[in-house]
Structure 1
Amino acid sequence: MSIRVKILGSNSATPAHRRHHTSQLVNVEGKYYMIDCGEATQLQLKRYKLRAQRINNIFISHLHGDHYLGLMGLLSSMHLMGRNKPLNLYGPRGLSEIITLQLKYSDTAFNYDVAFHEVDTQKFQLIHEDELISVHSIPLDHRIPCCGFLFEEKPKNRRLIRETIPEDLSVRNIIRLKKGEDIFDEEGKLLFKNEDMTLPPRQSFKYAYCSDTKYNESIIPIIEDSDMLYHESTFLEEHRDRAHNTFHSTAKEAATIAEKAKVGKLLLGHFSARYKELEPIQEEARLVFPESHLAIEGEEYILDS
């Protein structure tokens, strides 16, 4: 099992230099989760041959346009393409009103149900859980209510040592072995000891997405030891005053958070349109945290064991 993060958009406020508004697709064992949905997100999905209909959960960090203006178009396209399965939409207060108002005045009724889940952006709390992952909100410090998202894989099953498994062992007992159980007969006699037939489970990974935010050390205990962190790095340190006035971070500040949180890898994104070339952003971050990387559109960043 792995977590694969596909960058669909990496720019802030204005699309520029062939970079688009913020959006990412998180793929966990073929199950798609979308984070933010800036303008042109559905075009990026088509460009990279990603099927929108496989997305069942969309997480919107806040209601600045560069993070959600592509959402209505994507939802409408899902409708026109015949979607009939429910969609979960997670976001701050006001998101449901924005969508339902557009549906009202366009006299549109989707073929599928949209379940709105209002997120309290000031709390660290569980907002989604399924058989593969759990997702928590991460309170951030931005000009309007805003949160990030922490994706954590569920503990994985133990791995079978194939050559030790009898051919006639039942599926039920194989499942027990994967869960770490020993196998007993009806009289309670030990038949198979788990540690003789299985290996420890593969690593479960943790991915933290920190959207628009000022430098904010209060998130460190939440994202600590994440295998990968995406943290906005809108500006270079030379524009630090501009960053703070607009409730954003510099590349150096993003790297400082990564270093203090002891994460495995840092992805830098949400770039200001003032920067055509991005290498200086990466260079600034690597002076503090060597495992800093640019979130390049079309690239996939993989956590795997």
Structure 2
Amino acid sequence: MELTILGCYAATPRTFTNPTSQVLEIKNRLFLIDCGEATQVQLRKNKIKFSKINHIFISHLHGDHVYGLIGLVSTFMLLNRTNDLHIYGPKGIKEMITLQLRLSNSWTSYGLYFHELESNESEIVFEDEKVIVKTIPLKHRIYTNGYLFREKIGEKKLNAEAMKHYQIQTCYFQNIKNGKDITLDDGTFIGNDKLTFEPIPPKSYAFCSDTVYNENMIDLIKDVDTLYHESTFLESEATLAGKTMHSTAKEAASIALKANVKQLILGHYSTRYENISLFKEEAETIFPNVLLADDGKTFEI
């Protein structure tokens, strides 16, 4: 997995910071998560191919997470897109986008599919042979979900030396990758463990923005490789965090610790702070492995 941060600041865009949007690459698939203003500009700056984005996941309908979506949908049309586009988000997102398309008489020339969400329980929203995506119900001022991305366990890897030693024919390779033992023509039995290596452990990524401190998510994100958790405020503004239903860096770190995640990425910073390193310093008093998101930054998961 590779995560590219397109924007990670709260509320309004500035000349040097952008609201929430990020791209997660999983085994050559690109998933766009949230779509704040200037998302398509950031995609160009980071040289991410528009045509590879077929699934967009929107956490909630506040402007700093969705106001870039209509522009991106329209640009896809201008680029003569033919692939279907699937948009996952809260109930109302279809009305929000199609109203603008209707009033501008700009219907898409490609298939545009909306998957509207309204459950308060975690649910699977996307699945294929390599990845599964589930919602993470969050607590914010309006209906909001985070998203949990998990790779599926891959095939076993062939032991090239063993295959050569036993002179295994290529027609058996796929069965061996699938975990089956093999019996040679002379009756020799060979266990699968002698022919393969275990697959690379599947990776997982949890996106949680925006939310007040919420321990209900802990079981859903238990042991994930990387957690992105909003940290709009520092602890000195904890009262304001509560009123606006956001989290502090310290609270994000507490969730990471209790969920036993491997690493924590902080983001969604209030633009009141000039030095985002303060978020890392605060979080590290609770949780040791803290990284700071910033526009244009890439993380290997």
Q: TM-score, structure 1 length as denominator?
A: 0.95
Cα gap change, 1:97 to 1:282, in 2 (>3 Å): same
Counterpart in 2 of 1:163?
161
What's the C-alpha RMSD, in Å, of the aligned pairs? Answer: 1.6
Counterpart in 2 of 1:259?
257
Is the partner of 2:95 in helix, strand or coil? Answer: helix
Ranges in structure 2 where 5+ consecutive residues have no aligned partner: none
- Please say if residues 39 and 68 of structure 1, whose CA atoms lie closer than 8 Å, have aligned partners that are also in contact: yes
CA distance in 1, matches of 2:189, 2:70: 57
Aligned with 1:46 (options 40, 44, 47)? 44
Counterpart in 1 of 2:174?
175
Ranges in structure 1 where 5+ consecutive residues have no aligned partner: none
Q: After superposition, what is the alpha-carbon deviation per residue over 1:115-147, rounded to whole angstroms, capped at 9, x for unaligned?
A: 111122511011100121100000000000000
Which amino acid is the alignment partner of residue 179 of structure 2?
G
Q: After superposition, what is the alpha-carbon deviation per residue over 1:246-304, rounded to whole angstroms, capped at 9, x for unaligned?
A: 0000000000000010000000000101012101111000111111111122111112x
Q: After superposition, what is the alpha-carbon deviation per residue over 1:3-39, rounded to whole angstroms, capped at 9, x for unaligned?
A: 1111000101012371101001000122100100000
Which amino acid is the alignment partner of residue 85 of structure 1?
N
Aligned with 1:99 (options 89, 97, 110)? 97
Aligned with 1:11 (options 3, 9, 12)? 9
Which amino acid is the alignment partner of residue 147 of structure 2?
F
Counterpart in 1 of 2:215?
217
Q: After superposition, what is the alpha-carbon deviation per residue over 1:38-62, rounded to whole angstroms, capped at 9, x for unaligned?
A: 0000000000111111001100000
Counterpart in 2 of 1:60?
58
- Please say if residues 10 and 21 of structure 1, whose CA atoms lie closer than 8 Å, have aligned partners that are also in contact: yes
Is the partner of 1:222 in helix, strand or coil? Answer: coil
Is the partner of 2:220 in helix, strand or coil? Answer: helix
Q: After superposition, what is the alpha-carbon deviation per residue over 1:186-233, rounded to whole angstroms, capped at 9, x for unaligned?
A: 99x565421111011111111110010000001000001011000000
- Please say if residues 256 and 264 of structure 2, whose CA atoms lie closer than 8 Å, have aligned partners that are also in contact: yes
- Please say if residues 74 and 106 of structure 2, whose CA atoms lie closer than 8 Å, have aligned partners that are also in contact: no
- Please say if residues 61 and 91 of structure 1, whose CA atoms lie closer than 8 Å, have aligned partners that are also in contact: yes
- Please say if residues 121 and 147 of structure 1, whose CA atoms lie closer than 8 Å, have aligned partners that are also in contact: no
**Relative to structure 2, which stretch is displaced further, 294-303 or 266-275?**
294-303
**Relative to structure 2, which stretch is displaced further, 149-158 or 13-22?**
13-22
CA distance in 1, matches of 2:90, 2:245: 18
Counterpart in 1 of 2:131?
133
CA distance in 1, matches of 2:263, 2:44: 28
Q: TM-score, structure 2 length as denominator?
A: 0.96
Aligned with 1:226 (options 203, 224, 227)? 224
CA distance in 2, matches of 1:275, 1:205: 33
CA distance in 1, matches of 2:226, 2:171: 36
Cα gap change, 1:102 to 1:171, in 2 (>3 Å): farther
